[in-house]
Structure 1
Amino acid sequence: MPFRTIAAILQGEQEFARVLDCAIPLAVRLEAHLVGVHAEVLPVPYTAAAGFPDTDFIQVSTELNKETTLKLRGSFNDRADEAGLSFEWRTLESFSGDGTLAGMPSIRAADLVVAAQRDVESDDGTDVESLVYEAGRPVLMVPHSGPVSSSFRRVLLAWNGSKEASRATFDALPFLIEADQTDILVIDPPANADDSPDAAGARIAAALARHGVTVGVSIESSRGQSVDGVIQERLTASGADLLVLGAYSHSWLRELLFGGVTRSILRSAPVTVLLSR
């Protein structure tokens, strides 16, 4: 299914340009409608020494937030108009200042969501982890540094046979069809009565080939290394410019104590990542 509505999460000036550098050319190429989603921060009412709300602080914070919103909206409108797009801007209000939750009605009505990877050294930016787990839509995460692309020539698809991996694979199909090569990576495939380790990934490769995807399958053993470490190494070795990954988790306690592959990729992936759940 082609992407006809693309939602771009535009939280602040730091990530604004990188998200649009991906979303606008993509929307132009696909003739898609582009929705800019931005959350304006609601100021927390601090109490002055006299015990009353600090109205001066609230007023100044509100004015600064509106000034930022107007600046971003103007830049978005100018760039989208110059590109000849069908577009709209949606301003929301949130105490967190994150459009992820406040903008969920807009996000869930889109075919694809484009957001920026959060810089681990900064508290600002989109909460991509919550976005991926709550949206119900495929999320294209632009890396916080390095080149930004909207057309992907070589794709690495992490496949483990899960429903999340299947969802991500077929959500990414428009990109896979356009790519010069898609490499399916299977790490530590289980041996069972239905499939041998050597045959892992063969069914999904055949299904993609029927869509005209140029595809190959690689089977790798982690040999005690973390799965996300193997994926990162394969990204570097293959020269892939897009990683396709099913966002899945174990129990909340295991995730809290040990993290997970999805969380690690969200924080450290050096290329654009398409995630679905």
Structure 2
Amino acid sequence: MDYKIIATILTNTNNARDALDAAIALATRMDAHLDIHIVSINQNSMAYDLSGMATPVVATQTKDAIAERDKLESWLQDRMQPEVVRWSVQAAMVQSLVLGNYLAEKLRFCDLVVLGRPYQDDPEMAGLVENCMFIAGRPVLMIPKGGSAPEPRARVVLGWNDGTEALSATRAALPFLRTASETEICIIDPPRHGPDQADPGGGLAQFLTRHGARPVVNVSPETKGSVAEMLLQCAQDHDAGLIVSGAYGHSRLREAVFGGTTRSLLENADIPILMDR
């Protein structure tokens, strides 16, 4: 089964193009509806003076946020005019403190969110991705700058550690895994004690096969670098077009801060990454 509702979020014209193009391509290929959310993030909208009036700085920032939102709406109408995909748009100015709550409400009925990859040249993107996954609870496909949507027959590298996050990401990625020419299950330094110790990845491979995927299990000791480096090397060795991985944050109580393997992947991958928590 394909994704049927795909969403993307535009906060400025600089980060809009690659992710939007990828979302359009996927929605067209899968006959999905595309939900486009224009979100102007007001960073300091809670700052007021003693009389309860917004300070001049906040007033200026609010004016700039409205102007950016209007600019995005105009740009989007021109961009979408030649497209035949079914799409809709919602535009809003959102206080940064409630961005997660806003996205949780707007994204709860979508199957996949397509965004730009964080840690490139947009400081807002990491926060958007974190809110989408850890608060809105949606899987996110991240597109590197200059990148595009994974091709239908592209190989996939799936980072597997038998954890809940990895399984969530695997389930979320099934529409890609079913059409991939091969899914490389990359297991790095598997635990010596556990339910899969005799056959690491065997249960996952059976699960994927029954869903129509073509899995290959690759078990490696952690001797050639970090987990992120080994996943990226595996993707390069197999000419993969997509990496699938669980997402891990330091805090689940507030906006998550990516660290370790997750952040390293997001900083260095030059192909799309699909993550879920």
TM-score w.r.t. length of structure 1: 0.84
Displacement of 1:259 after TM fit?
2.9
Displacement of 1:231 after TM fit?
1.2
Contact kept? 1:7, 1:106, Cα under 8 Å:
no
Contact kept? 1:9, 1:126, Cα under 8 Å:
no
- Whole-Å separation in 1 of the counterparts to 2:170 and 2:64: 42
Aligned match of 1:93: 93
Contact kept? 1:104, 1:135, Cα under 8 Å:
yes
Displacement of 1:80 after TM fit?
3.2
Amino acid of the structure 2 residue aligned with 1:28: T
> Secondary structure at the residue paired with 1:7?
strand
1:69 aligns with 2:69: yes
Displacement of 1:121 after TM fit?
5.3
Aligned match of 1:272: 272
Task: Using the TM superposition, name which of 109-118 and 85-94 deviates more.
Answer: 85-94
Aligned match of 2:174: 173
CA offset digits 1:218-256 (Å, max 9, x no partner): 01111273211211221222221101111235678xxx9
Displacement of 1:100 after TM fit?
5.0
Displacement of 1:74 after TM fit?
2.5
Aligned match of 2:191: 190
Displacement of 1:126 after TM fit?
4.9
Amino acid of the structure 2 residue aligned with 1:34: L
Identity across the alignment (%): 32
- Distance of aligned partners of 1:85 and 1:224 in 2 relative to their CA distance in 1, 3 Å threshold: closer
Contact kept? 2:249, 2:258, Cα under 8 Å:
no
Aligned match of 2:130: 129
Aligned match of 2:33: 33
- Whole-Å separation in 1 of the counterparts to 2:257 and 2:9: 29
- Whole-Å separation in 1 of the counterparts to 2:113 and 2:220: 31
> Secondary structure at the residue paired with 1:103?
helix
Displacement of 1:275 after TM fit?
0.7
Aligned match of 1:104: 104
Task: Using the TM superposition, name which of 180-189 and 122-131 deviates more.
Answer: 122-131
Aligned match of 1:259: 259
Amino acid of the structure 2 residue aligned with 1:148: S
How do 1:134-145 and structure 2 match up within 5 A?
134-143=135-144, 145=145
TM-score w.r.t. length of structure 2: 0.84
- Distance of aligned partners of 1:196 and 1:267 in 2 relative to their CA distance in 1, 3 Å threshold: same
CA offset digits 1:6-31 (Å, max 9, x no partner): 11011111110011110001111111
- Whole-Å separation in 2 of the counterparts to 1:6 and 1:28: 10
- Whole-Å separation in 2 of the counterparts to 1:132 and 1:174: 18
Displacement of 1:171 after TM fit?
1.2
CA RMSD in angstroms comes to 2.9
Contact kept? 2:248, 2:262, Cα under 8 Å:
yes
- Whole-Å separation in 2 of the counterparts to 1:270 and 1:117: 9
- Whole-Å separation in 1 of the counterparts to 2:87 and 2:65: 23
Aligned match of 2:246: 246
Task: Using the TM superposition, name which of 86-95 and 5-14 deviates more.
Answer: 86-95
Unaligned runs of 5+ in 2: none
Displacement of 1:157 after TM fit?
0.4
1:231 aligns with 2:236: no
How do 1:47-86 and structure 2 match up within 5 A?
54-55=55-56, 60-86=60-86
Contact kept? 1:243, 1:274, Cα under 8 Å:
yes
Aligned match of 2:117: 117
Task: Using the TM superposition, name which of 177-186 and 241-250 deviates more.
Answer: 241-250
CA offset digits 1:43-88 (Å, max 9, x no partner): 648789xx97555x55544443223212212332333342112211
